Amino acid sequence: SAITVAILGATGAVGTRMIEQLEQSNIEVRDLRLLASPRSVGKVQTFRGQEYEVSAATPDSFIGVDLVLSSAGGSVSKKLIPHAVKNGAVCIDNTSAFRMDPEVPLVIPEVNSDDLDWHHGIIANPNCSTIQMLVALAPLDRKYGLNRIIVSTYQAASGAGQSAWSELLEEARQHLDGQAEIAKILPVSGASHHYPLAFNLLPQIDVFEDNGYTHEEWKMIHESKKILRHDLNNSDLKVTATCVRVPVPVGHGESVYFELEQNPSVPEIQTVLDQADGIVLQDDPRTQLYPQPITAEGHQSTFVGRIRADAENPGGYNLWVVSDNLLKGAAWNAVQIAETLVQRELL
């Protein structure tokens, strides 16, 4: 039966795609509430042929709401999601606010949809970089046992929101016009230094931890353990990460080195990934077929290629994985969770 849906952060890079992914989904929507900051009140969005006005999010915005999709930043989620849950809504939260809470399942439908069974009103969407990496590695973990992951990311500007995306384009214009680039947001808003991303690489995503890792790297490590081993400090699965922001608007790339307990051939790995849900295999060096951000943009799938065995370390492999960080990395994963909840009557 039809449900009432609220989108918190409806005007943002992810929020606008949540509306679009919900529109394309099989979820029957009775009413839609578009919520953002007071700055956006009165803006209009079309959904399934009808116009909806944005209103300012308050604790009372969730009365009568069945499902919340939220992507308005961690502090907004921490403040407002508890009110939504109190009012009986199920919330799929794209921020990092609740991801590590043991009462909150952290879900990628292709990987651990069974964890939806024990939700208590909040389900967390993992970090965009974690999602695409685990869509690629979980089928190999199930079949061959995964021991170790060493990942380096090439992350798009839109992962830091609409304003970071606009900043990259503006800096590119400034650079080509011979003007000095003015950086105000990246690598992370509120930091004491800002650096241009256009024609540059920034080896900082999110804030630094005391051990020298960034919080983005921390998230990839601990979210992977929670999703694959149900224990965010599991030490049988070793994970380490280096996260880099690259001057690409949309689509994260990742170079993933991984070690398996078994030693399957590359064609065997290709077959497993080719048959796995949510993956498109693009792996043919002879025809120069490999995943790229510009070909992944706008698609729900995770694209995998460049699969190679490490000749000097049996059971060690490299692969390259790309996905649209705003879709599978955020809006589509959230709507896919919502579809699964509706299908399993878990709303």
Rounded to 5°, the CA angle 288-290-292 comes to 120
Q: Return the number of other C-beta atoms located less than 10 Å from residue 174's C-beta.
A: 16
* Among 17-25, 158-166, 247-255, 332-340, the segment contacting ligand A2P (CB under 6 A): 158-166
Choose the stretch contacting ligand A2P; rule: CB under 6 A; options: 59-67, 160-168, 221-229, 247-255: 160-168
**Residue 215 Cβ vs ligand A2P, minimum distance, rounded to whole Å:** 16
Nearest residue to 6 via CA among 84, 74, 78, 100: 84
Counting contacts by CB under 6 A, is residue 44 touching ligand A2P? no
- Minimum Å gap between C-beta 129 and ligand A2P is 16
Which is closer to ligand A2P, CB of 111 or CB of 331?
331
Please, what's the b/e burial string for 243-260 (b: 16 or more CB within 10 A of its CB; e: otherwise)?
Answer: bbbbbbbbbbbbebbbbb
User: Is 161 a binder of ligand A2P (CB under 6 A)?
Assistant: yes
Tell me 85's DSSP state.
Answer: H
- Considering only residues 245-304, where is the footprint of ligand A2P by CB under 6 A? none
Q: Which helix (H) or strand (E) holds 172?
A: helix 162-176
* CB closer to ligand A2P, 148 vs 215: 215
Q: Which of 3, 5, 9, 225 binds ligand A2P (CB under 6 A)?
A: 9
Q: Which stretch binds ligand A2P (CB under 6 A): 161-169, 181-189, 204-212, 253-261?
A: 161-169
Q: Is 97 in the site for ligand A2P (CB under 6 A)?
A: no
Q: Is 185 in the site for ligand A2P (CB under 6 A)?
A: no
d(C-alpha 128, C-alpha 310), whole Å: 27
- Give the tokens for residue 173: 């214009």
Q: What is the CA radius of gyration of the chain?
A: 20
Nearer to ligand A2P, 60 or 114 (CB): 60
Q: Tell me the catalytic residues.
A: 128, 252
Shortest distance, position 279 Cβ to ligand A2P, whole Å: 27
Nearest-angstrom CA–CA distance, 300 and 228: 22
Convert residues 50-89 into a mask of x (bound to ligand A2P by CB under 6 A) and - (unbound).
-------x--------------xx--x-------------
Q: Are 158 and 166 in contact (CB under 8 A)?
A: no
Please state the closest distance from residue 108 (CB atom) to ligand A2P, in A. 20
Non-local (6+) Cβ contacts of 208 within 8 A are 214, 215
Q: Does 163 bind ligand A2P (CB under 6 A)?
A: yes
Among 5, 6, 15, 69, binds ligand A2P (CB under 6 A): 15
Of 14 and 146, which CB lies nearer to ligand A2P in the complex structure? 14
* Total interface residues for ligand A2P by CB under 6 A: 18
Listing DSSP states for 53-78 in one string gives EEEE--GGGGTT-SEEEE-S-HHHHH
Rounded Cα distance, 8 and 33, in Å: 8
C-alpha to C-alpha distance for 133 and 346, rounded to whole angstroms: 27
* Minimum CB distance to ligand A2P, residue 249 (Å): 13
Residue nearest to ligand A2P (CB): 12
Q: Out of 12, 109, 253, 291, point to the residue binding ligand A2P (CB under 6 A).
A: 12
Residues 6 or more apart whose CB falls under 8 angstroms from that of 251 comprise 156, 292, 293, 294, 296, 297, 322, 323, 324, 325
Q: How far is the first Cα of the chain from the last one, in angstroms, to the nearest whole number?
A: 11
Residues within the interface to ligand A2P (CB under 6 A): 9-15, 36-37, 39-40, 57, 72-73, 76, 161-163
